[in-house]
Amino acid sequence: MAVTRRSSCGRSVIGESWIQLSMLSNAHFDQPLCFTGMIEIRSLRYFLAVADAGSVTAAADLVHVTQPSLSRQIRALERLLGFDLFDRSDKRLVLNSAGRQFRGAAEELVARFELVERTAADIASGKLTSVRLTATRTTMRDVIAPFLAGWGPEDPMPTFQDELPADIYETLTHGADLAIGTERPSDALEWIPIARLPVWAFVPAGHPWAGRDRVRLADVLDEELLVLSEEHQSRRALDAAVRAAGLGYREQPVELSTPEVAQAMVAAGRGVTALSDDPRFGLVPVPIGPRDDTVSVRLYAAWARDHHASAALGAIAARLREFCIGTYGPEAAFDR
């Protein structure tokens, strides 16, 4: 649905630094937006506050301005845009069609501006006040989260983004500060090895393997095997071990979508699975392969060479390495 404008407009007079931002807004509309003045980030924040709160009164408390001032700001934004953003009835403001479309653009622009603010503050302070981490969901849950539980108020505030293994390091070009991946990073990045984490065979407590110190890879392949799809790190490690040993799957294994589902099916007696996750449902994890060649996932920490806080990121990566070795034992350590 095209936005109905109250008046036509000519050449935009938005400052040059805003041209790219206005182009981003256009992606949310069926026809190009054309402004007759400059939009302030503050106005967009006020608009989003009202959209979230549903009334000027509630939003005024959130953004710490008076109700009349906030009402004027919203009206001024609508005049600048050339269309109404809200349906006004019963003292409530409800986003209309145009407002719902515009909201996505506003959220995008405010988020980008806040990234600019954070980056500038970090650079000016000479320290890392926030850090954006990327890893797979399993690594984030079983490794990163326990590591962060030991952080204190002096550490940077972390934010998180989970990605598939193949996409981890690419996030460093899109705003991520530190990427924890399972493939050896490019030497164009700064990186260190973190830890080698075992891929376990998960079996019920009553299974004959439950009391074993470890199990042979060939024995795992002889079982009714439940595996994850090939984009998951534990499946990749298992496939690599099978190829390296010159073995093969007895038959096409059953593929499941998540580690949680795989463990649930093992608990239900449908077979065994091979994962690097923490155990659930009372399952017992058993290492696969000999002690000096256990099937494992290798973790690496990488960051951009030219990052303004490269030294601080290196220190965080070193702390993560120490944490993993302390948690999983000295056998988890490996060299570049």
Tens digit of pLDDT for each residue in 241-295?
A: 889 888 888 778 888 888 899 999 999 999 999 998 889 999 999 999 888 788 8
What six digits make up the tokens of 18? 């805003």
**Residue 86: per-residue pLDDT:** 92
**Residue 232: per-residue pLDDT:** 82
Question: With bands split at pLDDT 50, 70 and 90, how would you rate the model's confidence at 315?
Answer: very high
pLDDT tens by residue, 140-174: 988 999 999 999 998 999 998 888 888 899 999 98
Which of 3-7, 72-76, 121-125, 202-206 is predicted least confidently? 3-7
- The boundaries of every CATH 3.40.190.10 domain in the chain are 126-196+297-332, 200-294
The CATH H-level (homologous superfamily) assignment of domain 200-294 is Periplasmic binding protein-like II (3.40.190.10)
Other CB atoms closer than 10 Å to residue 4's CB: what's the count?
A: 10
Cα 236 to Cα 163, 232, 290, distances in angstroms: 15, 6, 19
pLDDT tens by residue, 5-15: 443 343 333 33
CATH code for the domain defined by 16-123: 1.10.10.10
89 vs 35 pLDDT, higher one: 89
126-196+297-332 folds as D-Maltodextrin-Binding Protein; domain 2 (3.40.190)
**Residue 11: per-residue pLDDT:** 33
Question: With bands split at pLDDT 50, 70 and 90, how would you rate the model's confidence at 2?
Answer: very low
Whole-number Å distance between alpha carbons of 240 and 244: 6
Whole-number Å distance between alpha carbons of 78 and 28: 17
Residue 308 exposed, middle or buried by CB count within 10 Å (0-12, 13-18, 19+): middle
Arithmetic mean of pLDDT, 8-36: 41
User: Which residue type, as a one-letter code, is found at position 265?
Assistant: M
